[in-house]
Structure 1
Amino acid sequence: MSVHAVVITAVIAAIASCSSSAQICDGLGEVIPVQRLSTKTGYFSAVKDESYWSQFKQEVWGCTAKQIWLLNRHGTRYPTGNDMGQLYDVLPGMSQRIVQNHNQGRGCLTKESLDQLSDWFPSYGIREKEQLHEMGYEEQFALGEYWRDMFPQLNNVSYDPQKFKIEFTVKNRTGQSAYHFLRGMFGDDAIGTIELPEPYSPNFILRAYKSCPRWLKEVYKNEETTYKERRLFTQGEIFQSTLHAVSSRLGFMHPLTPRELEAIYDECRYEMAWWPKQKSAWCMPFTSYDFEVMEYHQDLKYYYEDSYGTPLNSETACRTYNDLYSHFRTTISQEEAKPQGIFYFAHDKTILKVLARIGLFRPSEHLRHDNFGEMRDRVWRSSFVSPFSANIVFVLYQCGIEFKVGTFFEGQPTPLPELCTGVACRWKELQPWLHENYQTCDLSQICMMHDEL
């Protein structure tokens, strides 16, 4: 018998033993960790680190904000086409089987959850595919208000296309995000007069990876390498224990497939992002520990597909920083900001690559299938670094004859320990890295296929 078979046999035996007692139902009905739902975490629920405000204020005391550069992930959305197809395929029939299981005396769900599932059907259709949800409208509107109030000297003015640069990708949800962000910043009366630009593709500032053949082949479509750690984790004891436990709590006598478990988890995450004050029945078979396992399962995907797990990821973000460098350098040399606000709207893949490019939230070691226990307190987790409406903002300050750059992540001052000292970077510290990035950023070379070299 293989090692893998031995592990699975042991897991099944343990779960079967546990299922015969009330222990399998322990831990259900607890508070759903809405702040730990990977990339489907709602922005209002996401964890934000406010610990650097005091130091930051001291470092920029007496300084004047000259220019703001913002990169925003779109707000909370409806499922993608692929997600929607899987949810429609798996969940309506499963909801009925779960109710039947409980009617036959198997399972752990409460009457309230069973009532939700008894006539459950997706609340969305093909027209909503990938579109911004109403909660996404609220997130982006709130962000527009937040940055207006944070920097009134820059943003609490009438909209002028000469003062503000707006750009978003060809996906509707980023254009919708830009609209509601600007509505929050400039008001409902002004938004009708703002003419949004036409998106274009390829866009090497906001979505270079989509036009990078090497990334598409070596990373995104590389099942053997990119998704190896996640595949091994799926096959391992920790994930299989959660799969069998959830199956038992739903009253199934045979374990669900990983695909079915992921569909349950995804619907749970969507519903909690849309309605965070309610309790989705699809979340109820998971304990707090199970949510950690499922988050790590997601992290193993995004870490290698978009972040530190694969060096090429951060390389594809070099044009994004060239844009930042160009705007700030021009403002410093001319002492006048044109435009004074640069607002970009993109995707989680963009955010993750941009963060990795400057070394933000780099973990102490790579996430792997076999170090879940050691990484439970990791600094890099997708729920934190890429929730819906995730944003990274750079603000150029003039402090007498010196310039500084404040970095904000999720609206909070954030130091760049790999690039500069302090919380606000001195321009003379940050400029050499930006200049080197500018000189070495050749996407045609970076994205060239290896077999073409």
Structure 2
Amino acid sequence: MSHPIRQVVLIMLSLCYGAVMAAINYTAPSLGFNQTFQQSWALYSPYFPVSEYAPPPTGCTITQVNLLQRHGARYPTASVGVSLQQSVAKLQGADLSDDPSLTFLMNFTYALGTDILVPYGAAQSFDAGQVHYTRYASLIDGDILPFVRASSSERVVESALNWTAGFAYASNQLYVPVLSVIISESGNDTLDNNMCPNAGSSDSETSEWLEIFAPDIADRLNMAAPGANLTNSDVLNLMYMCPFETVANEAPSAFCGLFSQGEFNSFEYYEDLKDYYGNGYGQQLGPVQGVGYVNELLARLTGQPVQDETQTNHTLDSSPVTFPLNRTFYADFTHDNEMISIYSAIGLFLQPHALDPSQPNTERTWVDYKLVPFSGRMVTEKLECTVAGETGDYVRILVNDAVQPMEFCGDTGSGVCALGDFVQSQQYARLNGEGDWALCSD
């Protein structure tokens, strides 16, 4: 469990840092590609609304909002950055004179940073803050501002701060929410998947698909660049360069031109498999890593104390200062892996059949660019609805603005469930993963 003194220090630091970030008031620009191409970048796709936001059904009023949002676009992680540079160097060391699409490499210098947000990613979060103020302004007044938390990675904290700045900007500085809690990733954290060391990986499934789609690409590039000796893994790294350079430079990367739309569709499926078998339904210990957040969500929706024995920090969640139950808007900032676990713990995007590592199912709803793009978001709305003369509490969930079907709690097509039915449907979370949590550690 995280030390309570450290939490207080982090809270105070966030208040100081927020003043600096509040000066950012720009909008995420176009990246120069059509949306279809950008969507084939999977979890590295820029955020876009999957559907136009639909107001609640007639007779329903929103009374509470719970936002869960991924950090904005970032540079590659340190380990990935090393691999990218190695693959680029192999291609640069080859004969590039015969293929015009490769000549840019003759004067190319790798210049990507590591781990942190790129300016485009900061702008994505700022934009989101403006959208959410505009959409849910009726829930806000001077005494009831959004309660904001973030996992402690720098890119997540900065995303939260840019969101608060965008929210304040949209209200003409009338409502200025602060980042109230930063949860250390070295301890119990419902906004990071760091507490299940025994969880397996997706290596088997992703390797199978890589061996199917990458060899032809490697052969093509090796013929165009004699001496490169690119492997399947190199192909993957060179494909990663396309989204990472594009979001970093806010302009199309020349690496994107090395691959066709169809090849990037295969790349997208590689990442679908990675998440499905890494943190989703295909991983036995994937959904249990989302249980802590789900139990916090249930506490907020019902106004009852958190009941959880998995990831939650009991010190934080038992205090009305660090886990209030009287707010109308909650905003949490996290990572894509944790969001995948949370979707799976709730029962969203359930597939009739496991994803096939040898062939994509074109009818699947498990598609990374729709689930966890950069700055992707899940919103759980609590509603007060009058149905057949009876007024009660209801719930609906939107992922990237698309209303999610929730047959598991009685949704008959409107995307709305009675709150009590939704709570009952979350037995997996309420029972702490039904034994799965105990398997996370020896």
If the TM-score is normalised by the length of the shorter chain, which range does it land in? 0.7 to 0.9
1:289, CA displacement in angstroms?
1.3
Matches for 1:256-335 after TM superposition, within 5 Å? 256-274=230-248, 278-330=251-303
- Alignment partner, residue 424 of structure 1: 416
Q: Which stretch shows the higher mean deviation, 414-423 or 283-292?
A: 414-423
- Alignment partner, residue 312 of structure 2: none
- Quick one: distance in 2 between partners of 1:348 and 1:399? 32
- Alignment partner, residue 394 of structure 1: 380
Q: Secondary structure at the match of 1:397?
A: strand
- Alignment partner, residue 124 of structure 2: 139
Mapped contact 1:165–1:343 kept (Cα < 8 A): yes
1:451, CA displacement in angstroms?
9.2
Mapped contact 1:41–1:388 kept (Cα < 8 A): yes
- Alignment partner, residue 365 of structure 1: 353
The alignment-based identity, stated in percent, is: 19
Matches for 1:22-421 after TM superposition, within 5 Å? 33-44=37-48, 48-50=50-52, 53=54, 57=56, 59=57, 61-92=58-89, 94-95=91-92, 97=94, 100-101=95-96, 103=97, 105=98, 107=99, 109=101, 114=103, 116-125=104-113, 129-155=114-140, 157-158=141-142, 163-187=145-169, 189=173, 194=178, 196-201=180-185, 202-207=187-192, 209-212=193-196, 216-220=197-201, 226-236=202-212, 238-248=213-223, 250-252=224-226, 255-274=229-248, 278-330=251-303, 338-372=326-360, 375-400=361-386, 401-421=391-411
Mapped contact 2:75–2:244 kept (Cα < 8 A): yes
Mapped contact 2:279–2:286 kept (Cα < 8 A): yes
- Quick one: distance in 2 between partners of 1:165 and 1:123? 37
1:134, CA displacement in angstroms?
0.7
- Quick one: distance in 2 between partners of 1:32 and 1:437? 36
- Quick one: distance in 2 between partners of 1:191 and 1:87? 43
1:146, CA displacement in angstroms?
0.9
2:84 alignment partner AA:
L
1:33, CA displacement in angstroms?
0.8
Mapped contact 1:34–1:273 kept (Cα < 8 A): no
1:247 alignment partner AA:
N
Distance 1:306 1:253, change over 3 A: same
1:371, CA displacement in angstroms?
2.3
- Alignment partner, residue 319 of structure 2: none
1:313, CA displacement in angstroms?
0.8
1:275, CA displacement in angstroms?
5.0
Query: What do the CA deviations read for 1:19-57 (whole angstroms, capped 9, x no partner)?
Result: xxxxxxxxxx9997111101111114xx6134x83xx64
1:191, CA displacement in angstroms?
8.9
Distance 1:195 1:322, change over 3 A: closer
1:194, CA displacement in angstroms?
3.4
Mapped contact 1:66–1:340 kept (Cα < 8 A): yes
TM-score (norm 2): 0.78
- Quick one: distance in 2 between partners of 1:437 and 1:313? 12
Mapped contact 1:351–1:390 kept (Cα < 8 A): no
- Return 5+ residue gaps in structure 2 as ranges: 1-32, 305-323
1:176, CA displacement in angstroms?
0.2
- Return 5+ residue gaps in structure 1 as ranges: 1-28, 221-225
- Quick one: distance in 2 between partners of 1:270 and 1:124? 8
- Quick one: distance in 2 between partners of 1:92 and 1:230? 24
Q: Secondary structure at the match of 2:285?
A: helix
Query: What do the CA deviations read for 1:219-276 (whole angstroms, capped 9, x no partner)?
Result: 14xxxxx32122222333x33223323433x433665112221221111121233456
- Quick one: distance in 2 between partners of 1:154 and 1:384? 27
Q: Which has the larger radius of gyration?
A: 1
1:151 alignment partner AA:
Y
1:322, CA displacement in angstroms?
0.8
2:327 alignment partner AA:
P
- Alignment partner, residue 9 of structure 1: none
Counterpart pick for 1:440 among 409, 431, 439:
431
- Quick one: distance in 2 between partners of 1:302 and 1:134? 26
2:218 alignment partner AA:
L
Q: Secondary structure at the match of 1:76?
A: coil
1:317, CA displacement in angstroms?
1.2
Mapped contact 1:66–1:337 kept (Cα < 8 A): no
- Alignment partner, residue 8 of structure 1: none
- Alignment partner, residue 309 of structure 2: none
